[in-house]
Structure 1
Amino acid sequence: MANGKTVLVTGGAGYVGSHTVVELLEQNYNVISIDNLVNAYADSPTEKPESLKRIEKLTGKSITSYNIDIRCKDNLDKVFKTHKIDYVIHFAALKSVGESCAKPLQYYQNNISGSCVLFEVMSENNVKKLVFSSSATVYGTPQKLPLDENHPTGQGCTNPYGKTKFFVEEIMKDLCSSDSEWSAISLRYFNPVGAHESGLIGEDPSGIPNNLMPFIAQVAVGRRAKLSVYGSDYDTIDGTGVRDYIHVNDLAIGHVRALDKFCDNNFKGFKPYNLGTGKGLSVLQMVEAFKKASGKDIPYEIVDRRPGDIASCYADASLALKELNWSATKDVNAMCKDTWNWQSKNPNGYQTKTAN
């Protein structure tokens, strides 16, 4: 149990961050959120992000929130000096594969430099227990499937986004090797989808969605005319890319189980865990599942492959089951149903003011 411990969540107002904040509050953790609002909405730069306001309504608990960038060391240090922080969960990062290929410097500067500043401030304030939001992209083009944690990382990473996650993992390894007081868990996600069953919080990307599920949902709700399917000539069941989709609530629970691991006094150093379902679904299979869940048609067109994409990627998550007592519980029907519940109640995302 949390016993009133305090978790600093970077990127706490974003998609996976906000769902994890709900789970942390429900497990009696105190939560401090830091977010620069790149992937989150607020009425003004000084207002609490809308996702966190809704979480407070949902849980009846308060969240301390700072709208700051982790690359600003002075601002970050003030937060650590103001609060007694026990753990950090680090989500804050730019996260689009395609955009990272077009703007690599922006990704290296934000994701790697930002992480280094965070780790510096943590060290200086003697906070040395960290859960990192990583990605299956660290495995690069799979040498075998399903992917387990023994698969090589950093070899053949197909995009700068994946490289940033790999580099930060390497920094964490070096940090843990240099100082035995550090404990770091890297959670390698596959493809988060879905939303909280209340429909109060969900995925609300800025601009054109880079991920499949919010794009499908925006087509279904009428915000976009059709879905672009990137490539139909992959070596897969129907030629479209295959991914391991995981419900965001399952993912959120995985972060709390990772924090539980820190209560084991024998746990030291760096350890990665895959969080996925172990099953791959193609783009067109997801389109069909969403049509069934929403009752809406999803027009789509086949376009060229995106730079940096691979054919298939799915997890072996047995280590998380064995060591974190975690496994995915929600199937594709729940993923689509909860996404549609969120999007239909919030056709304009967090700028929809009539959500109930």
Structure 2
Amino acid sequence: MKTFVFAFLIIISSFLFSWSGHEGLTYYIVKDIVPDELVKITPYNYQEKRVYNLSKLVLRDVCGENTIKAWEGAITPPNPSPVDEKVPAWQILTVYSSEPDWGMDQGLDLSPYQFLIGNSQGVRHMKYRIMGLEFFEADKSFYYFHDLAKEAFRKGDRYWGYRFLARALHYIEDLSQPYHNKPGEIGEIFQALFDKSIMKMLMNAHYTYDDYLAYLIYSGDEETIRTIEEAKPIFLKSEWHLVQEVRKLALSYFPKVHHEIKKVFGSKLKDREGKLRSFSMVSVEEFKEADQRGDLSNLKRYTLELIGKVSSYLKGYLIDFLKTVKAF
């Protein structure tokens, strides 16, 4: 069993995945949760245990700069330039929720088992469960930045407290993506070892669903935005419980989401190389056309159910976290 799973992981090793639209999702989650607080920008001054790709790591403040990847005309979160070296707390969380996708986790040698997966970005952003075996460490990434955010707040460094918290949000949001928890059905995984078209289909299905959330949010879809904004906080006992609930939720939606992705985009998933201008696999125009035909109605319903529940979990987490650090 281990040999079979390891072989599959080696095949997918050169591909990077992450939810698109982290900034938009985070903005609509945090904007009514975090304090109305202007935060002084402070320099980075931390001794960390975590290894980064230093050529990609960004430590200066980039609020007000164009960091969001979206198409022309997309409705993206506000991102004003700092005033008197201060930025709002919501903006720090919004802008830096995508920071782990800027390259800091790429090209690393993280462990003696790196050869099994090859891609360090995948190591830190996913948590696969295949045939009873678990791989990757998105959960550990979340715990790491949760703890680092608390450390920063204890020091009175609210800028880096919020910025580390934004990174923590990134990884827990990644764990809410069904394909970050399971690459395909077991039968498909087995087929992919011998059929490259199945492997391409699984990778492109993942890419397509990554981009679908960004399509909904940055198109300004009112139902999507309302679902995130109106989600009621759900409070869990601990960060561990948060990870377990988010993963369980994402896995429960995998069969339905995967079925719809294949039904709507079937032939494209096997044929395309993932180099489109706006999105990796399916263009904005193609999403719109499928939407107008009604082909995406089920996928949208499942996605909003998933994102609504995730938003509730993350709002509860943020409220609890910010109550804790308020005393620091």
Normalising by structure 1, what TM-score? 0.30
Higher relative contact order (CA 8 A, sep 6+): 2
Q: Which structure dedicates a bigger proportion of its chain to strand?
A: 1
Q: Which structure dedicates a bigger proportion of its chain to helix?
A: 2
